[in-house]
Structures are given as C-alpha cells and as structure tokens.
With several copies, the nearest count.
Chain A
Amino acid sequence: MTTTYLKLPYVDSVLRPGALRAVVLARGPVGFTLDIGLNYYRGLPLSTIERFELTVDGERIADHLLLFEHDRTLLPLSALAQAFTEFWSVKKPLRVRVYQGGLASGDHEVGVTLVLRSPYMRLGPGAWGMIDGSASRTLTLQEAE
C-alpha cells in the first residue's frame, strides 16, 4: 500500500493550449473559462474530486469564484463532492468559470492543483487510491466565443 499519488503521463492533456478563454457579456469582460482535462486513463465521477485549487499568474483564485460546468450543469466547488452521478470523461474537459472581472489579453501562468479519489481502488475503510491530476502551463487567453 503506497501513499504516493498516481500521476499518469497525460499531463499535457490537463491544460491544453486553447483552454483559457475570455468571457464577455453584454457590458464587457467578466472573467474567463478554463477547460481542464483529466490526467488519467479513464473517466471519473466529479464526486471523486477531493482537492481543487486554481492559480493564475501566481495568485490563488478564491474558492467561491469557482463555478464548474459539466454537461451544462453548474456546480460550485462545495457541491462537487456530492455530484456522484456526473461523470467526467477523458474525452470531455471540465470547464471552470471564474467571473473575477476578466484577464488581460496575452499569456498567463495557470496552475491547477487537482487530487481525485480512485473510486474502485479501496485500500481500507475510508482510504482510496489517489490520483494527482495537477498541472501548470503558460496559456494564451483566447478571445471570447
């Protein structure tokens, strides 16, 4: 039994080059979306997300600003742990919406700390295999869709 987190070599799929995009509403920029891929060989229920932190240019984004969007369903960070019927497929990135006022155009250093529970790897009571899905990358802000 190891306490090391599993980290697979698909780390470049976590933050793909086009993953960071400006969000512009009727009155101008309000924030950004970030599409996050799973560094794992299979999909996982959203309820297995045990830890999630986002930094942009070294600054931590406050948890209450994180709004996850999965298959159209909107979920605050606090609701992820209960979202056991929402399956995060390896083919479909999870989108996080952050409405903090918008980012400057150009490059940003984005860091995601992501730890997931492996729901089929039970090690003992309350203990499960853990997956490290973290990544960081310099991303160029894409124009709003």
Chain B
Amino acid sequence: MNIGGIEQGVSLYGFDQRWVEDPDYTIEDCLDDVHELGVQRFELVGAVFFDRYPRPSVQEIDRVRAAADRRGLVPFSYGGYADVGRITGHEPVDEDYILDLTADLMTAVELGCHHLRAGAVPLHLLPLAAMLAEQYDVNVGIEVHAPSKPSDPDVQQMLAEFERIGSRRLGFVPDFGCFIERPAEPALARYLAAGADRRLLEFVIENRHSGMTEDEVFARVREQGGGQAERMAISDFFGFLSFGPADLDGFATLLPWTQYFHSKFYHVDAQLEDPTIPLEKLLGAIVASGFRGVLMSEYEGHAFHNGDALEQLRRHLLLERRILSGGSGR
C-alpha cells in the first residue's frame, strides 16, 4: 500500500499481548495477521520475538524469513536494543554499546532488513554507527520516544550531529507516542471503572499543563468531590501516562533526518477517530516534507489489555490511508 511515496507497514510489537499470553500464537500466526492487514512491510523486535537475544539462532532467523517469504511479506526493519545492563554490577562503557549495535546489525542482515531501530547509541559513537551502517548495508535509526520530545535539547543535539556527520545511513525513527495530547479512551475507562468522575478526569486533563503541581490538581479535584480513582489518574497523567501539547514544530525539524516512522497509537474507535494523537497534522507534515518511505503502524494499546490488536491495526491503517488520500482523519 503505497500512497504518494508513503508505504504502510506494521510493527509486530503491536501483537505483543497475544504473543506473550497465548503459547499457541506463533510467528507464522503473527505474519498471517500482517498479511490479513494488507501490508507487506513489517518490523520485528528481536527481544520480543526471539528465544535468544541479542543473537537469535539460525533456526529462528530462517523460520521468520521462510514465513515472510511464504506470505509475500518483507522484513523491513529490525527492532534492537542496547542491553548494556546485562552484566550485573557493570557500568556500561563504549564497548557495550558497540557490541549490541553490532549484534543487532548482524541479525538485521540475516533477516534481510535494511533498517535497524537501534538501541541507545551515545552521541560520540554516532560516527562509528554511520560507518557500521555503511558496512552492514543497514540504516541505523535512533528512536525519538516519549517522554522525549523532538525539541528536547538532547534530540536537537543528535540532529546537529547527524547533520555534521552527513551520512544518510543515520537518522531518527520518530515515535508518535511523543505527541500524545490526551489519554486514550481505554485509559480513561479504567479510572471510570474504578469510580472516577468523567467530568473530573476532563478537568485533570485540561489542567495537566496549566502550571499546577500534581498535588495542587488533586486538591482542586478533591474540592470537587474526587477521591482515590481520580488520584490514580492524576498520578498516572503526571507520570508514565504523560501527555501535552504536541511538539509539531520540533517534529518538523526531524523530518529531513528521519529513516522511517513509528506510527504509535493506543486506540482508534469504530468511527476511525483517535483524539489521542494528532495524526492528521503529523502526516500532513510528513507529506509536506516530501518524505518517501515507511510509516510503521505500532499499536501499543496492549497496555489496556483488550486483546484487540488486529482490529485496532485495521482501523489505524484505514485512518492513515484516509488522511494520506486527502480525506479527513476525523
């Protein structure tokens, strides 16, 4: 599915819930799901899908390749890590980052992937990463992932380093989870189920970035009759479920140095609406930049444990297509 030079793909990470929970769900089943979604390109995350990591066995590699081939699918990108805390008590040094990058590049080559979503690479090792990318013929992408935002100083510093090095082998993999503007509906559903008041939840969402502290927000919620369910929401919203105004200007600066995108999402409703992430604006910027490449749908709603990855991915791909074809996202 190629729309104006933009090709949709699916990250197998989206199938994580079933992968972890259902012993009978195999890599072949997983690729059947991808095939059913009508896309060709997929991303495989090594530490999720292989029994051995960072270096899977030859049998594991062969199995993925054979299953992809048989379904006409293309392993586009390989998801790596820098498990530099693997050795207990050892403070990571350059050698550790280089080792894991090398291992993942080797695996990417074996899988036939020309893109690696690399684990952490310290800034001063980026020139080496560019050289390795060239040698292995695998582009190295550094993910920009929540809670980071494109405008963050360290991201901009990396951008400057990409420009300085000047190798097209290096670039970003922006993850749209950076642009969450409000909690996904299934997240709210949990607080509601715990007895939270929807009106108060909306109050919290509106005031998350009004300058109030976590405690101040809770004080105001309490005044309005809120309790433990709302407190849980506040704690989450100020913590790992953080959100805020999307850093679209920052996003635009990454586009010239982007390898491909993780089109992260949590929930698309039956009307193909997702107020969580400003997908229309993001895709608009991508198209405007002249980017040609892959938009990898990455479902992360398994956090809500609804077992709905396949249906959610179907909706998300449809939503993207509608936007890219010029229809409205909403």
- Using a CB–CB distance below 8 Å, which chain A residues touch chain B? 2, 4, 8-10, 12-13, 25-27, 30, 37-38, 40-45, 47-48, 64, 67, 72-74, 76, 78-79, 81-82, 84, 87, 89-92, 117-122, 125-126, 128
A119 and B85 form a contact (CB under 8 A): yes
How far, in whole Å, are A122 and B89 apart by their CA atoms in the complex? Answer: 12
A47 and B21 form a contact (CB under 8 A): no
CB-contact partner of B86 in A2, A12, A67, A119, under 8 A: A119
Main secondary structure of the interface of B (DSSP, over half): loop
User: Among residues 62 to 92 in chain B, which have CB atoms less than 8 Å away from a CB atom of chain A?
Assistant: 81-89, 91-92
A87 and B52 form a contact (CB under 8 A): yes
How far, in whole Å, are A117 and B85 apart by their CA atoms in the complex? Answer: 8
A122 and B52 form a contact (CB under 8 A): no
User: Which one of B43-51, B274-282, B312-320 is at the interface?
Assistant: B43-51
How far, in whole Å, are A76 and B100 apart by their CA atoms in the complex? Answer: 11
Min CB gap A31→B, angstroms:
10
B239 and A90 form a contact (CB under 8 A): no
Q: A9-B305, A41-B20 are in contact. Are A92 and B102 (CB under 8 A)?
A: no
A84 and B55 form a contact (CB under 8 A): no
A118 cross-chain contacts in B, Cβ below 8 A = 85
B19 and A91 form a contact (CB under 8 A): yes
Name the residue of chain A whose CB is nearest to the CB of B300: A41
CB-contact partner of A9 in B56, B120, B136, B303, under 8 A: B303
Which 7 pairs, one residue from A and one from B, show the smallest C-beta to C-beta distance? A26-B137, A119-B85, A42-B47, A119-B83, A9-B305, A72-B55, A89-B51
B52 and A27 form a contact (CB under 8 A): no
A4 cross-chain contacts in B, Cβ below 8 A = 239
A12 cross-chain contacts in B, Cβ below 8 A = 21
A27 and B134 form a contact (CB under 8 A): yes
CB-contact partner of A79 in B16, B20, B87, B136, under 8 A: B87
How far, in whole Å, are A87 and B136 apart by their CA atoms in the complex? Answer: 25
A120 and B83 form a contact (CB under 8 A): yes
A-B contact pairs, 21 of them (CB 8 A): A2-B239, A10-B21, A26-B135, A26-B137, A41-B13, A41-B20, A41-B302, A43-B51, A47-B87, A48-B86, A67-B99, A67-B102, A76-B95, A82-B87, A91-B23, A117-B88, A119-B85, A119-B86, A120-B84, A120-B85, A126-B89
Name the residue of chain B whose CB is nearest to the CB of A83: B88
How far, in whole Å, are A136 and B305 apart by their CA atoms in the complex? Answer: 19
Q: A72-B58, A74-B99, A74-B103 are in contact. Are A10 and B20 (CB under 8 A)?
A: yes
B120 and A42 form a contact (CB under 8 A): no
Q: A25-B136, A74-B103, A76-B95 are in contact. Are A43 and B86 (CB under 8 A)?
A: no
Min CB gap B40→A, angstroms:
23
B58 cross-chain contacts in A, Cβ below 8 A = 72
Q: A2-B239, A10-B20, A41-B20 are in contact. Are A26 and B83 (CB under 8 A)?
A: no
How far, in whole Å, are A13 and B305 apart by their CA atoms in the complex? Answer: 13
A44 cross-chain contacts in B, Cβ below 8 A = 47
Min CB gap A108→B, angstroms:
22
A27 and B135 form a contact (CB under 8 A): yes
CB-contact partner of B134 in A26, A48, A64, A120, under 8 A: A26
A2 and B84 form a contact (CB under 8 A): no
Name the residue of chain B whose CB is nearest to the CB of A122: B85
A41 and B48 form a contact (CB under 8 A): yes
How far, in whole Å, are A74 and B100 apart by their CA atoms in the complex? Answer: 9
A84 and B87 form a contact (CB under 8 A): yes
Min CB gap B237→A, angstroms:
13
How far, in whole Å, are A72 and B91 apart by their CA atoms in the complex? Answer: 24
CB-contact partner of B85 in A87, A89, A128, under 8 A: A128
B135 cross-chain contacts in A, Cβ below 8 A = 25-27, 30
